[in-house]
Structure 1
């Protein structure tokens, strides 16, 4: 958890990004965390105490999620969200960055590298999503209906936060009230449903295999064996497309690896970050 010595800030510009920065003057690397769809930086809370001694940490709620503003003027495309995050990183002027993305956060990282290939020295994709096409035109047109946000709200309420967590977590006994409350909090305001409608409307399809194959950044892919949200075969396909990547499978785990296996994630992360360029070999499962 964050203590009073850790900096908590809000970056307000045309992208209205909310972030939390935990500095570490002795650290070589800054880890930048991007959460997944329907989530927030809350999902990384178990990693923070395991990593903050060795790294500076920047956790970002990317719009329209978490505590970032749900602006009606903002373009909720991957391209624009990625560009906004890159502007935020430039404002910090970090020397050595490792981008860490969970689920759709991984897709944002790939978009960032498409725009700025040297945005990070290394990337880590945890259950990284990929190859998802744009929403059908009929859904995009439906998003302009005045009551569309209510339909999205009702759709999410059918399964509820706990139901979604049961789909995302392999061992259901790991789901507790803290988790349920943390993932529910961003959805207590009506603004999120208006933001989701705009995200549905603006989001492009994921990057193509050809675009991914052009990304040369050293990459570690960590994937849960029994991920129902982003199946393991997606991780294998990503590993084949990313030319400088390694894939690790976490056994008996689902989609929410930062919740389910934080210690194992940190072990693989530390090993990957500590290896210098030129010392790694491609390793697929």
Structure 2
């Protein structure tokens, strides 16, 4: 990898580290190993390129809008889990998505941000278990 590209990737990873840390409502829940795992998924130019291409093609603001339009006719039970303090995709986006999905239910996890598995694993597991118990087996 050329020096200029390496610098760009390192700069973007540094920004991503800051973004992940700033979006955690409970930073103490994310270990350095877990943070390194999230960052390693983005550590290649191919991964970053794919993400930026998606954002460019779809537009970040329209990503959820298009998804909800495409899924709006679905009757499959869907659980939407959202962190109350998520600033990347705020709760209002979850509410909007839930309104557009007839068979969905939205559960907002208190005091959690964007990374629910790291910040509120117990609450996430309870919500999924509850959803599975009340969802008909035909799905």
CA distance in 2, matches of 1:210, 1:219: 15
Of 20, 24, 31 in structure 2, the residue corresponding to residue 169 of structure 1 is: 24
Structure 1 contact 167–229 (Cα < 8 Å) conserved: no
Shift in alpha-carbon separation, 1:249–1:189, aligned structure 2, 3 A: closer
More helix by share: 2
Q: TM-score, normalised by structure 1?
A: 0.39
Tell me the SS of whatever aligns to 2:125. helix
Question: How do 1:39-58 residues align onto structure 2 when only pairs under 5 Å count?
Answer: none
Shift in alpha-carbon separation, 1:201–1:222, aligned structure 2, 3 A: closer
Residue 159 (str. 1) matches residue 15 (str. 2): yes
> Structure 2 stretches of 5 or more lacking a match?
none
CA distance in 1, matches of 2:52, 2:113: 27
Shift in alpha-carbon separation, 1:193–1:233, aligned structure 2, 3 A: closer
Q: TM-score, normalised by structure 2?
A: 0.74
If asked which structure has higher relative contact order (CA below 8 Å, sep 6+), I would say 2
CA distance in 1, matches of 2:69, 2:43: 40
Shift in alpha-carbon separation, 1:245–1:177, aligned structure 2, 3 A: same
Of 63, 71, 80 in structure 2, the residue corresponding to residue 221 of structure 1 is: 80
Structure 2 contact 30–119 (Cα < 8 Å) conserved: no
Tell me the SS of whatever aligns to 1:211. helix
Question: How do 1:1-285 residues align onto structure 2 when only pairs under 5 Å count?
Answer: 153=9, 156-157=12-13, 159-161=15-17, 163-200=18-55, 203=58, 205-206=62-63, 207=66, 209-277=68-136
1:197, distance to aligned residue in structure 2 (A): 4.8
Structure 1 contact 150–193 (Cα < 8 Å) conserved: no
> Structure 1 stretches of 5 or more lacking a match?
1-148, 279-285
Tell me the SS of whatever aligns to 2:99. helix
- Number of residues paired by the alignment? 129
More strand by share: 1
Q: Deviations over 1:213-262 (max 9, x none)?
A: 21111111111111010000011111111111211111111010011111
Structure 2 contact 13–42 (Cα < 8 Å) conserved: no
